């Protein structure tokens, strides 16, 4: 269970006592549990949304509370990556300048607009889904978002010579990606045909994003992985809602 607890510690702000030494092997094996951590985050969001909706009878307030719960649990880790990417990719003409901007902790106008767009799209998409559909869509979207992190680390090349992205990219293997993918399959099966179609489309989205980051930045970074997580979740919610209506 130590790699699983390590995955929770890295992807959330839940303080867990780690009584063993964190070794490279433990970090590598923790990658396979990333989607499971996403499921737990999604279930927490669904639980908060249900409780607030029952108490205040307001769908918008319930959706907003679910997002706040997610940001509290994760510390906004992946949203921060998306915002840094928006600043770097839109504000830096060259690869070097884009990476320099992304490393800066300050946010600019592109980061603000990117973060605002992320929150607004999530609220709007959650409003289109029924409470029953969200009970599946939220955990599955969060699981696929974390699986996208493992894919990006495995399929992409590190853009920097140092940093968290470089460290985890050196540790990630196809075996860990396969294990992580197996954890997602049961949840995809619960959503039947719509979730299967959207999950397949998500794989194509990952491939396109990794190719873009490698062409634009020379590889992936921790920020680009955070952006992959956010865009994956939004893409899945949009596609799942659309297909659920049609089918």
Higher-pLDDT residue of 237 and 170 is 237
Tell me: the pLDDT tens digits for 29-47? 999 999 999 999 999 999 9
Confidence (pTM): 0.93
Tell me: the pLDDT tens digits for 104-163? 888 899 999 999 999 999 999 999 898 888 999 999 999 999 999 999 999 888 887 776
Q: What does the pLDDT read at residue 165?
A: 67
DSSP letter for each residue of 44-105: HHHHHHHHHHHHH--HHHHHHHHHHHHHHHHTTHHHHHHHHHHHHHHH-SSHHHHHHHHH-S
Phi, psi of 161 (to 5 degrees): -80, -15
In the beta sheet, which residues pair with residue 220?
158
What is the distance in angstroms between the CA of the first residue and the CA of the last residue of the chain? 40
- Using CA atoms, how far apart are residues 97 and 164, in angstroms rounded to an integer? 20
Q: Where are the alpha helices (DSSP H) in the chain?
A: 2-11, 24-30, 34-56, 59-74, 77-91, 95-103, 109-128, 131-155, 164-171, 174-190, 192-217, 222-246
Percent pLDDT > 90 in the chain is 70
Tell me: the pLDDT tens digits for 201-238? 999 999 999 999 999 999 999 899 999 999 999 999 99
């Amino acid at each position: 269970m130590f790699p699983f607890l390590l995955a929770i510690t890295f992807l959330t702000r839940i303080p867990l006592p780690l009584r063993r030494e964190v070794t490279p092997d433990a970090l590598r094996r923790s990658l396979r549990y990333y989607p499971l951590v996403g499921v737990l985050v999604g279930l927490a969001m669904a639980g908060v949304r249900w409780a607030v909706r029952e108490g205040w009878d307001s769908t918008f307030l319930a959706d907003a509370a679910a997002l706040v719960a997610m940001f509290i649990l994760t510390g906004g880790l992946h949203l921060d990556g998306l915002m840094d990417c928006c600043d770097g990719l839109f504000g830096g003409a060259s690869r070097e300048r884009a990476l320099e901007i992304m490393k800066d902790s300050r946010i600019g106008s592109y980061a603000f607009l990117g973060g605002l767009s992320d929150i607004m799209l999530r609220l709007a998409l959650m409003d289109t889904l029924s409470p029953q559909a969200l009970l599946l869509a939220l955990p599955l979207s969060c699981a696929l978002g974390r699986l996208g992190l493992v894919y990006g680390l495995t399929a992409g090349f590190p853009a920097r010579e140092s940093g968290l992205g470089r460290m985890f990219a050196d540790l990630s293997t196809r075996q860990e990606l396969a294990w992580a993918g197996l954890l997602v399959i049961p949840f995809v099966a619960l959503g039947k045909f719509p979730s299967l179609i959207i999950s397949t489309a998500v794989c194509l989205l990952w491939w396109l994003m990794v190719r873009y980051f490698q062409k634009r930045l020379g590889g992936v970074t921790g920020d680009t992985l955070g952006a992959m997580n956010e865009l994956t979740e939004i893409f899945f919610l949009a596609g799942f809602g659309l297909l659920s209506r049609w089918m």
